[in-house]
Amino acid sequence: MKIENRQRKLYTNSVTENSWSGYQSKTMWSHVIFEHPSTFQTLAIDPLKKKEIVDDLITFSKGKGYYAKVGKAWKRGYLLYGPPGTGKSSMVAAMANLLDYDVYDLELTSVNNNNELKKLFTEVSNKSIIVIEDIDCSLDLTGQRKEEEKKEDAKEKNPIAQMVKSEENSGDNSKVTLSGLLNFIDGLWSSCGEERLIVFTTNHVNKLDPALIRRGRMDKHIELSYCCIEGFKVLAKNYLDLDSHPLFETIQSLLQTTQMTPADVAENLTPKVVPWDVETCLNNLIEALKKVKEEARLKTEEESKSKTYGS
Ligand SMILES: Nc1ncnc2c1ncn2[C@@H]1O[C@H](COP(=O)(O)OP(=O)(O)OP(=O)(O)O)[C@@H](O)[C@H]1O
């Protein structure tokens, strides 16, 4: 795919204080030049999954006519989930590099209320990716929904008391709410601008409110997981410029029985002394994998012991 050589930008939402005028003026987004080196080539994930994602992104970016024909806003939501260090942030950078889009890193905890969120969304340019990282930590989204459900229940049981309570709380518009976020994704965001991706990342997909990640909002759910042999081969090429080695077989059998993230595999492969040689780096990884495997075995043993004594 042809990429124009323009300078892309990484935007973050921050509040700047204009102390000169004595007033606080708020700049919604500030930016730096986006220069993350991650690409789909350097991403250590299953090659079939990689191809599927790249095809999906390219189809999206060429889909102007298609989206117009089916009457859908030209936008797409991605949910990236998996343990820390499996490449969620790296994948967002790879997406931006593939499509030549700007990145808007939306820090929800810095957004004071739904109005501010609305302004932020309307200031986003076309050909961009809005990212909300660690969405489960950004806001107590599920908690808010449960809270609302509890209120509904209470309202049914004691409508008068609840009316008084909601009057008391009516001035509280100081938070971004789940419904606020959903409204912007479905409503306002859809109706203005085009060619935009929204990406949520999370380490805890089960904690998310199903309403937030249903298809149509988050169209494509992508699980990033522990390092597989194919992922390891990508890292060996990136870090050691190595296509094959007799030690790959040992590493393959250890990876099949051990959970190690690509971040940890990469760290263990990284040369630690100069001059370095590939054997030492691969052996460092093998030792680390054996250690993790042994720790996991001991943990399982402990757990089964405590179950036996507990019962
Ligand atoms: N799948 C991967 N392919 C290539 N490198 C990876 C991969 N996963 C992790 N890494 C390496 O580990 C570092 C951390 O990865 P990254 O921040 O993308 O993980 P993450 O899943 O977003 O983690 P967190 O949930 O903690 O934010 C990256 O800078 C990269 O060097």
User: What value of ipTM does the predicted structure carry?
Assistant: 0.98
Residue 49, both tokens: 């999954």
Q: Using H for helix, E for strand and C for coil, what is the string for 9-54?
A: EEEEECCCCCCCCCCCCCCCEEEEECCCCCCCCCCCCCHHHHHHHH
- Ligand 1 pocket, mutate which of 78, 89, 90, 234 (most atoms under 8 A from CB): 90
What is the 230 CA–ligand 1 centroid distance (Å)? Answer: 16
Encode 206-225: b = buried (16+ Cβ within 10 Å), e = exposed.
Answer: eebbeebbeeebbbbebebb
Helix, strand or coil, per DSSP, at residue 159 = helix
254, 286 contact by CB (below 8 A): yes
Which atom in ligand 1 lies closest to the alpha carbon of residue 93? 18
- pLDDT at position 213 is 86
Task: Reply yes or no: is the peptide bond before residue 275 cis, omega within 30 of 0.
Answer: yes
Q: Give the angle 96-99-102 at the CA atoms, nearest 5°.
A: 45
Give the distance, in angstroms, between the CA of residue 282 and the centroid of all CA atoms in the same chain. Answer: 30
Distances (CA, A) of 64 to 72, 91, 123, 194: 10, 23, 21, 9
For residue 165, give the H/E element and its range: helix 159-168
Encode 46-75: b = buried (16+ Cβ within 10 Å), e = exposed.
Answer: eeebbeebbeebeebbebeeebeeeeebbb
Which atom in ligand 1 lies closest to the alpha carbon of residue 45? 1
Q: Is the CB of 114 under 6 A from ligand 1?
A: no
- pLDDT at position 26 is 55
- pLDDT at position 181 is 85
Write the pLDDT tens digit of every residue in 251-270.
999 999 999 999 999 999 99
- pLDDT at position 23 is 42
87, 191 contact by CB (below 8 A): no
How many Å apart are CA 212 and CA 221, to the nearest integer?
12
- Residues of the chain predicted below pLDDT 70: 1-5, 14-27, 139-174, 188-190, 310-311
Q: Is the CB of 263 under 6 A from ligand 1?
A: yes
Bridge partner residues of 201 (DSSP) = 80
CA-closest residue to ligand 1 atom 18: 87
- pLDDT at position 167 is 39
How many Å apart are CA 250 and CA 139, to the nearest integer?
43
Record the pTM.
0.84
- pLDDT at position 168 is 40
- pLDDT at position 151 is 60
